[in-house]
Each structure stands twice: as C-alpha cells, then as structure tokens.
Amino acid sequence: MTIPCPYIPCGDAPPRRQCSGGPRLRSVFAALLIAALFVPEVHAQTSPPPGSAQAVVDDLQTGMLGIMKKTSGQPFEKRVEALCPVLEARMDVKLQSAMAIGRSVWDSWSEEQRTIYVGKFKQYLCAIYASRFKSFIGQTLAVTGERPGPSGTVIVNSEVRVPQEPSIPIDYVMRKTGDAWRVSDLYLGGRVSEVALRRSEFSNVLRTQGFDGLMAAIASKTAAQGSKPGY
C-alpha cells in the first residue's frame, strides 16, 4: 500500500511534497509516535469503580486469595484467624445471621442472645470459607460481571478457576448498608443460596432444642469444617 506524501510548508517557500525518508517527515512521524505512547488506553482499564459492588467483591476475592497463598498448608485454626477480618469487612454478617433464623425468631431473642448468636455465626462462616480454600494450587478468583437483583440489590458474578478443572460460578448478592456495599448472600454454582443452606441447617435444631441447642450445634459444625475437602 502506498502512503501519500503530505504537504508541509517550509518558511516562506511554497508548499512542497516531502516523500518518505525525508528528515521533516521522519520528525513528524516520531512526534506522532511519542504522542501515541502517552495517550491513555481507556479500554485497558478493567478495574471496577472504587466503592462499587464489583469493587467490594474484587477486594474480597483478592483478600481471600492472598490468605490462601499465605496460609497454604497451615493448621485450620490459623486459616480461620487470618480469613475472618477479610470476610467481616465486606460481608453483612449480622444480616446474614438474622436471615438464617428468620425475622420472627430474631425478634423474639434478647439483645444478649443476638450478640452471642452473631458471634457464633461469624466463626462458622469463617470456618466454612477456610475449609473451602485449604491450599493454593494455582486457583484464581475472577469477577465476570453484574446484573440488577431484587429489592435494590446487585448480583455480582464471579468464578473460582481451578487448574485442570471446570470453573465454579459464585454469585454475590450485594446490598447497600449506609454508603457501602456488603455481601448479604451468595449462590454457589449460581444456584444454591448460602443463607438458605444455613436456614435449612438451623431450623430443625431451633424447633427441637431452642437457643442453647442451636449454639451448641453451630459450635460443633464450626469445628467439623477443618476436616472437609476444599477447592
């Protein structure tokens, strides 16, 4: 393909044609190249906006991956201890714990009972995540998109990618608490609600053994997470 030579004026002389290889044309091309190097590439920006629902999930997954690498092969209790602050900062643990027992039960408990229960629930939640990510074998966690959810929520789609295995989709239900987005539920495989699973676990114990029985059951379930297989 032949590129036409541009007309470039030189002092008071009439315009003349500069052909390829001329010093003036080379300087113009050099200037254009330098300018192009410093033009920001808009399409390369893939990070979600700070404070957005996607950014919170991205931070959560980055934190979990970092803990996974740092504590790979360490005792279960160490993984739980390291993971809990990462989860607590980005998950609405109180809301999740309340939804897991239902509004009527939550309202019937005293403030002291709620505080004890939320603490037990948080430890159980941390243990569940610690059991899922036992060791680092090259897993990656990737946010893949989002969509509107019910009642003002946002569903953030993500995947756990394990080498030589099919990806595991995880959908985070994000709800705004004040000015911040927090995880109020998540769906494993894009279908199974974590809160619904907890409610299924707790309902029969609550009905037959009451508050004390549930606290004992949650403590037992928390301890049992250490022997479960992970991703």
Nearest residue to 184 via CA among 220, 150, 134, 222: 150
Beta bridge partners of 193: 187
User: CA of 107: how far to CAs of 66, 102, 104, 113, 144, in Å?
Assistant: 38, 9, 5, 11, 37
What would the mean pLDDT of 18-36 be, rounded to a whole number?
40
CATH number, domain of 60, equals 3.10.450.710
CA–CA gap between residue 85 and residue 87 (Å, rounded)? 5
Domain count within the chain? 1
Is residue 27 situated within a structural domain?
no
In a domain, 20, yes or no: no
Give the structural domain span for 214: 53-227
Residue 184 maps to a domain: yes
Mean pLDDT of 3-18: 39
Count of C-beta atoms within a 10 Å radius of residue 188? 15
Rg of the chain (C-alpha set)? 28
What is the average pLDDT across 29-39? 35
CB 67 within 8 A of CB 82: yes
Which tens digit of pLDDT belongs to each residue from 189-225?
Answer: 888 899 999 999 999 999 999 999 999 999 999 999 9
Does some domain include residue 48?
A: no
User: For 124-177, how does the pLDDT look when each residue is reduced to its tens digit (9 = 90+)?
Assistant: 999 998 888 766 677 788 899 999 999 999 999 999 888 888 888 999 999 998
Q: CA 229 from chain center: how many Å?
A: 22
- In 3D, which of 128, 136, 112, 217 has the Cα closest to residue 170? 128
Predicted TM-score (pTM) of the model is 0.75
Is the pLDDT assigned to residue 73 strictly greater than 60?
yes
Up-side HSE of residue 85: CA atoms within 13 Å toward CB?
5
